[in-house]
Amino acid sequence: MRIKCLVMILSVTGMASLPALEELGELVVDAEVLNQIDQVDRSEADAFFRTDLAESLSILPGVSLQRVGARSETMVTVRGFDLRQVPVLIDGIPVYVPYDGYADLGRFLVPNGAEMEVAKGISPVLAGPNALGGLINVHTRRPEERLEDEIRAGAFTGDGWKSGLAAGGREERWYWQFDLSWIEQDAFRLSDDFQPVPTEDGGRRENSWRQDFRASGRIAWTPAGDDEYALGFWIQRGEKGNPPYTGSDPTIRARFWQWPQWDKTTVYFLSRTEIGNDTVLETTAHYDRFENLLQSYDDATYSTQTRPYTFNSYYDDWIAGASAKIENRSWQDLRLAAAVHYERDHHEEWEPATPTYTFEDETLSIGFEAERTLLWDASLTAGISHDWRNIREAVDTNTGAPLGGSKTSSWNPQVIYRQSFGDAIEGHLGYAGKSRFPTIKDRYSYRLGQAISNPDLQPESADHFDIGIRGSHCDGDFNWQLGLFYSRITDAIQRVDNVAFDPSGAGLFQLRNVGKVEHHGLELAINRRWSERIESGIRYAWTEAENRTDSSIFVTGVPEHEVLLYSTISPVEGLRLIPSYTWADSRVVTTTGKRVGHYARLDFRAEIQPSDAWTLGLGVTNLLDRNQQLDEGFPEPGRSYYLDLKYEF
């Protein structure tokens, strides 16, 4: 598919102008005011062969791909903030794991036609709680024609296969949409430069198999005007191996883990109702179920469980919630809006022949926002939200005794000034105060006997300052954006060592609100269309994350410099060549300061389109076959080839 102008899809500071709200599940009401939403869609992800949600999001500047090798999880950081601090939503519905606040985005396949939105730092004030560092939302498309269909199939290195089917249709007063995706791989291939170690002999990566299935759908009634009432669902079914550690640290023991179950099921209701000519009411209700099994084995045969460190660990979690948002434009040049969100997080864990431990939290958030259009193409937006967290149930997993914890709350103020300078240049200046409540794991986990719990952990808070400017020239053929940001986190949850000692005399740590952390950086994007057949672009991000409280404790997973270079070349009609180069600086991967080297990947894709309906894509990733890591001891795939076919009708 044709890559759109970089200013629209790879916006540096999220300044892309968006239309008024058109689709349920989008963040556009707030984005129209804040101009703070970056977007990337399925076609751009396909162009760079990004098969899951994490890899697709990392196309955007300031969004860094992250691997958690010990758990075989794929995540992202947003300007240095991790996924506990940046909630993930699908059609506006949260999909995190209640226990630790994370979501393994490597399990999430991107739906056909989906758009992925990232709000960095200054996220929509009415979007709900816990958006300390931003917000990620994936929204599925609405069909516009009476019948829209698409079939996909592909193969890639490592006995990998993928397929997909999408269908939808629109009638006068209703529409429907359904999407299926499936991907599996026996094992990815390591670089030829990888040096064998006892747990890995090279070639096909040990225990790196995976299989993921996703189904989603929506049916909606559109009785009149922009009114809409939709029922939808998401189903994720995942299985994966956990490749063993291959590094040189003698203190790390190789894990022989597999995850035969990583399942999420989400059902939801969305509505939008016009009340008169100037007021719109939106509501949501949702239920998300997460079921998980982690199996630990004796050795690389993955057949026996006799040693002390082996186990079968089960999770059974759910999230239930609802929200309502109302917006009014009765007064000239003034928009008023308010929102309320309620969520209940439930976590259960157990192992065979052990008790079941149950934890449950409830969270309430209320927000208000006002936008005033000013003279000389300017506007001012101000908002505030207040969040509450109540602990309904908790237990000490060492003793089985019930635990309490104080009720907590936090304020989130926000103000943004936006100014246009003619038709070609636009800028903004903004401030936001954001917060995040600690997760169940933050408060109650003993970390396999290495820590003591802290039920009274308080919220983290952050102050964000953001300034950006963009321009479009030469009839839209030359586009640029530049942005600066600074974030100061107080009451950051950090590890404090030797707060107690176990019977053997070993020191135990505890998580406490003692940290002060600063994130600052610059993001730049330039796109140039040279002719109808050639377009090129650059995307660059500089991010520094520093612990001001204790310089010996490092912020992890944040490369200081990242760059993406790409071009699209169409030498003849029906043929498109897409070379791209990704480079990321070395990064710290543990709080003690352990680093991995820089990451560099040269990719190439060719697309052949013999007709409007058919598209054949073939390409190679990591063309130079670099041996590299995003997490120490867990090497990335080497050179890999792929082929995919798409038919639209």
The percentage of the chain sitting over the pLDDT mark of 70, rounded to a whole number, equals 94
pLDDT at 27: 54
Using the predicted structure, report yes or no on whether residue 373 has a pLDDT greater than 90: yes
**Beta-carbon count within 10 A of 633 CB:** 22
Cα→Cα distances 154→164, 183, 215, 645, Å: 9, 9, 18, 6
CATH code for 6-648?
Answer: 2.40.170.20
DSSP letters of 606-633?
EEE-SSSSEEEEEEEESTT----EEETT
pLDDT at 39: 85
Using the predicted structure, report yes or no on whether residue 484 has a pLDDT greater than 80: yes
Rounded to whole angstroms, how far apart are CA atoms 199 and 244?
A: 7
Using the predicted structure, report yes or no on whether residue 181 has a pLDDT greater than 70: yes
pLDDT at 13: 32
Inter-residue contact 487 to 462 (CB < 8 Å): yes
Using the predicted structure, report yes or no on whether residue 432 has a pLDDT greater than 90: yes
**Beta-carbon count within 10 A of 244 CB:** 24
Q: Quick one: average pLDDT of 419-435? A: 93
Tens of pLDDT, residues 53-111: 999 999 999 999 999 999 999 999 999 999 999 999 988 888 899 999 998 999 998 88
Q: Quick one: average pLDDT of 307-322? A: 94
Among 606, 614, 495, smallest CA distance to 47 is for 606
Where does the pLDDT of residue 14 fall: very low under 50, low under 70, confident under 90, or very high at 90 and above? very low
Using the predicted structure, report yes or no on whether residue 21 has a pLDDT greater than 50: no
Where does the pLDDT of residue 23 fall: very low under 50, low under 70, confident under 90, or very high at 90 and above? low
**Beta-carbon count within 10 A of 266 CB:** 21
Inter-residue contact 614 to 646 (CB < 8 Å): yes
Cα→Cα distances 444→60, 99, 322, 448, 603, Å: 35, 10, 26, 12, 44
pTM score, whole prediction: 0.91
Sign, CA torsion 119/124/128/130: positive
The percentage of the chain sitting over the pLDDT mark of 90, rounded to a whole number, equals 73
Where does the pLDDT of residue 25 fall: very low under 50, low under 70, confident under 90, or very high at 90 and above? low
Tens of pLDDT, residues 569-612: 999 999 999 999 999 999 999 878 889 999 999 999 999 999 98
Tens of pLDDT, residues 30-56: 434 344 568 888 888 988 999 899 999
Tokens for 354, please give them.
């052990």
* Greater pLDDT, 641 or 515: 641
